[in-house]
A = this chain, B = another copy of it.
Amino acid sequence: MALYVHGYQAREGERLHDQASTLADLLHAGTVYAEGNVVLEAGCAVGAQTVELASRSPAARFVSVDLSAASAALASRRAADAGLGNVSCAAADIFALPFGPRAFDHVFVCFVLEHLARPTAALAELRGLLRPGGTITVIEGDHGSAYFHPDSAAARAAISCQVALQAAAGGNALIGRELYPLLVKAGFAGVEVQPRQVYVDGSRPALLDGFTRKTFTAMIEGTRAAAIDAGLSTAAAFDAGIADLYRTAAPDGTFCYTFFKATARNA
C-alpha cells in the first residue's frame, strides 16, 4: 500500500473526523446494507467512515481493516465509543487479506484507492472476496475538481503540490474521475458512478467553515513541510496559496469540490 500522504498524526485524525461529520450525508446517502449482510470495509483508517457506515446499517455486520494497526485500533475504539456492536476492526494489507474467496456480501472502500499504485489490482482482489451478485461501493475525491472564487494561481499551485506529492508516493489525487474505467477493468459489472459535489457560498456558513476551511484547506496546509522539502514550492509561495484558499471562505467567496461514488457488482 502506498505511503499515506495525509499522515497519521492525531491532528489528522481530528481533521478526518470534522470532514466526516460535515460530509457524512453527502457521501453515505443511498448506502444501506440489509440485515445479516457481512460487509468488508477495506482501508478504514481511524474509523471516521466506519461509524457512519455501521450506524446507518445497524442490522448488518462490518469487518473493517487497515494496513496500520494503530489506525485499526483507533477505529475499533471509535466504533465502541459510538455504541456500535456490529463492527470488528483488524490490521491487514488490502493485497493479502486473511479472508476466503466469496466471504463477503458487500465491500466498501472510501479514500483508499487514491493511495494505491495499483488500484485496478486492488479492486480485482476485492472482487474475489465478494459472493456472486455482491456489490462494491467506492468513494474517492478528485483534487482536480477543486475550483473557487476568487480564483488564484497561488492557490492552484499549492493544490498541485499535494497532487505531486501523492503521485510521488505512488498514489493519484485525481482518481475520482477515473472510477468508472477502473471498475470496468477490474471485471465488475453494472458500474454506476455518481458525482457528489460540494458547493460552498456565503449562504452556507457551516460548509464555509466545515469544508472550505477545516477540510480542504486544512488538508492542503498539512502538506506544507513535505511540499517545501520536496522543492515543489517555497514557504512564501505556499503560504500565499493557503491564504488565498482561506480567502475563498469569506462571505463573497465560493468553493467547489466533487467526490465520486461508484457502485458495481461481482457478476
**Interface positions of A (Cβ within 8 A of B):** 142, 144-145, 147-149, 151, 174, 177-178, 180-181, 184-185, 191-195, 197, 199, 201-203, 252-254, 256, 258
Additional A-B contact list (6), CB under 8 Å, known A144-B147, A184-B202? A180-B203, A180-B252, A181-B201, A181-B202, A181-B254, A193-B203
A184 and B202 alpha carbons, distance in the complex (Å): 10
Query: Which B residues are in CB contact (< 8 Å) with A185?
Result: 252
How near does chain B come to A113, taking the closest CB pair, in angstroms? 14
- A147 in contact with B177 (CB, 8 Å): yes
Complex CA distance for A177 and B184, rounded to whole angstroms: 33
- Contact (A193, B199) CB under 8 Å given A147-B142, A256-B258, A258-B256: yes
**Which residue of the partner chain B has the closest CB to A145?**
B147
Q: How far is the CA of A195 from the CA of B196 in the complex (A)?
A: 11
Chain B hits for A174, CB < 8 A: 147, 151
Q: Beyond A180-B201, A180-B202, A202-B181, is A256–B195 a contact (Cβ under 8 Å)?
A: yes
- Tell me whether chain A's interface is mostly helix, strand or loop, or mixed: mixed
Shortest CB–CB separation between residue A190 and chain B, in angstroms? 9
Q: B202 touching A145 by the CB < 8 A rule?
A: no
Output the least CB separation between A32 and chain B (Å). Answer: 23
Residues of B within 8 A of A144 (CB): 147, 151
- Smallest CB separation, A28 vs chain B (Å): 19
A177 and B252 form a contact (CB under 8 A): no
Residue of B nearest to A156 (CB): B144
Q: Which residue of B lies closest to A199 (CB)?
A: B195
Of all chain B residues, which has the CB nearest A175? B149
Q: How far is the CA of A1 from the CA of B252 in the complex (A)?
A: 25
Residue pairs across A and B with Cβ atoms less than 8 A apart, 5 shown, are A180-B203, A180-B254, A181-B253, A191-B203, A197-B197
Which B residue's beta carbon lies closest to that of A143? B147
Residues of B within 8 Å of A192, CB to CB, are 203
A98 to B257, CA, bound (A): 41
CA distance A197 to B256 in the complex (A): 11
CA distance A2 to B250 in the complex (A): 29
Across the A-B interface, the 3 shortest Cβ-Cβ residue pairs: A180-B201, A181-B252, A195-B199
Knowing A197-B195, A197-B197 touch, does A149 contact B181 (C-beta < 8 A)? yes
- Bound CA–CA A142/B197 (angstroms): 15
| Residue in A151, A177, A258 with the greatest tally of chain B CB atoms within 10 Å | A177
B197 near A177 with CB under 8 A, answer no
Determine how close the nearest CB of chain B comes to the CB of A193; give it in whole angstroms.
6
Nearest-Cβ distance from residue A248 to partner chain B, whole angstroms: 9
